[in-house]
A and B are shown apart, each in its own frame.
Chain A
Amino acid sequence: MNLARLLRIGSRIALPAAVAASTLAACIVTDPVHQREVDALGPEVAGVPKGELHRAGQPCAVCHGPKGPASTQFAVAGTVFAQPGDKVGVPDVQVLLVDSDGTNPPSILRTNCVGNFYVLADPSQGGWDPQFPIEVGIARPERGEGAQMIGHLGREASCAFCHADPAGLSSPGHVYLNTTPDPNASCPVSPTVSP
């Protein structure tokens, strides 16, 4: 086989191969269902930078899951609010998790000043690789406050996936501790989420 013939064969294969490869790449990169879920979360709130204080009350693992787009992946994450009727985040709430193997996150989880908490999914980064189902409780022992979830996490990493607002037939509403927010608590961003 001479060089000219080889080139002819190569040119016939190149175009279909390129089309197939680009089609495959498009399928892998774009998951329209996931993209819709990400888009539905809307833009960042003005004045709240990306980070551990952003998007309180939203289903964290939509972005912080295997499909991204966030760079960090959470095993479990959510937000604890004060009352069922408002959305004021509560700081320093312990989030107690026990998986079906009886393991816990490597350190005690505490909510930050907007009520957010998370545990990374990668154990090599101080995270936790739980075996679902997971039982959940929240507590502020120093105030004698606490609550245990009626059910358990079946497989979902985001509290807000099930605890969506408003409460209804398919949602108990957001997670709350049934406590009074501390008016003197300091936080670089507002712990109150607008409805």
Chain B
Amino acid sequence: MKTFVVVAALVAASSAVGACVSTPDPGKAVSVTGPDYTGFAGDGTANNVGVHAFLERRCGTLDCHGQAGRPFRVYSGGGLRLANDAGLLSGQGSTTPDEVFANYEALVGLQPEQLALVLQGKDVPTSLLVVAKPLALQTHKGGPVLAVADSGDHCLEGWLLGANSEYVSYCNMAAQVP
């Protein structure tokens, strides 16, 4: 009996070690499908500031998501700057196209598989951290920064659902308030 227990323990241990050192499959990859980038970036006019302008305003301050160490890292002219050749520092100049795209990548890269499910209509936007946290449906260090059905919520969820362009005007509104 004692021998059996020892053998069983060794087998379990070796299989556990084996599982840890197994070679990753180089062919395995996550296919990332992002929401509409045009809607994210806007067109640079006051009539279509884009989702990014709202995110910069409401999430991207230096004491919140305008920090390099955050997975959802938000660059902006007034906050954290992406390294650039123009010498632009925090608070100088407008948000650059590179920074807008980096913000888009940060958002899409948070939960790519779950985002794909939302975009395919197989799950709801509130299943995403980027929606659930500001609505305080999940723990958020910054507390609730959006309310259900406010302009920011309509902007973000409308863009993710992509059913129509109504979200554009909500983003314009949401980007005006702190």
Where the two chains meet, the residues of A that have a C-beta atom closer than 8 Å to any C-beta of B are 100, 132-133, 135, 150-156, 161-162, 167-173
Shortest Cβ gap from B153 to chain A (Å): 16
CB distance B142 to A155 under 8 Å?
A: yes
**Subset of 22 A-B contacts with CB under 8 Å:** A100-B178, A132-B142, A133-B61, A133-B145, A135-B178, A150-B91, A151-B79, A151-B178, A154-B62, A154-B142, A155-B64, A155-B143, A161-B63, A162-B61, A169-B80, A169-B81, A169-B83, A170-B66, A171-B90, A172-B90, A172-B91, A173-B91
Shortest Cβ gap from B60 to chain A (Å): 8
With a 10 A CB-CB cut-off, give which of A156, A167, A169 has the most chain B CB atoms: A169
Shortest Cβ gap from B29 to chain A (Å): 31
CB distance B80 to A153 under 8 Å?
A: no
Inside 8 A of B82's CB, which chain A residues have their CB? 169
Distance of A7 Cα from B124 Cα, bound (Å): 61
Inside 8 A of B90's CB, which chain A residues have their CB? 167-172
Against A, the Cβ 8 Å flags (1 = close, 0 = not) of B64-79 are: 1011100000000111
With a 10 A CB-CB cut-off, give which of A132, A154, A169 has the most chain B CB atoms: A154
Number of interface residues of B (CB under 8 A): 25
Distance of A150 Cα from B83 Cα, bound (Å): 20
* Interface SS majority for chain B: loop
Shortest Cβ gap from A31 to chain B (Å): 16
With a 10 A CB-CB cut-off, give which of B81, B91, B142 has the most chain A CB atoms: B91
CB distance A170 to B178 under 8 Å?
A: no
In the complex, whether B89 has a CB less than 8 A from a CB of chain A is yes
Distance of A22 Cα from B133 Cα, bound (Å): 36
Which of the residues A100, A154, A173 comes within 8 Å of B61, measured between beta carbons?
A: A154
Q: 6 tightest A-B contacts by CB?
A: A156-B63, A172-B91, A162-B62, A154-B64, A154-B61, A150-B78
Inside 8 A of B62's CB, which chain A residues have their CB? 151, 154, 161-162, 170-171
CB distance B78 to A151 under 8 Å?
A: yes
Residue in B closest to A84 when the chains form the complex, CB atoms? B91
Inside 8 A of A169's CB, which chain B residues have their CB? 80-83, 89-90
Shortest Cβ gap from B143 to chain A (Å): 7
Shortest Cβ gap from B95 to chain A (Å): 12
Inside 8 A of A167's CB, which chain B residues have their CB? 89-91
Distance of A150 Cα from B89 Cα, bound (Å): 14
CB distance A170 to B80 under 8 Å?
A: yes
Distance of A135 Cα from B67 Cα, bound (Å): 20
CB distance A170 to B67 under 8 Å?
A: yes
Shortest Cβ gap from A117 to chain B (Å): 18
Considering only residues 71-111 of chain B, those with a C-beta below 8 Å from chain A are: 77-83, 89-92
CB distance B68 to A170 under 8 Å?
A: yes
Distance of A153 Cα from B63 Cα, bound (Å): 7
Residue in B closest to A150 when the chains form the complex, CB atoms? B78
Inside 8 A of B143's CB, which chain A residues have their CB? 132, 155
Inside 8 A of A155's CB, which chain B residues have their CB? 63-64, 141-143
Distance of A32 Cα from B62 Cα, bound (Å): 23
Using known A-B contacts A135-B178, A170-B90, determine if residue A152 contacts B61 with beta carbons closer than 8 Å. Answer: yes
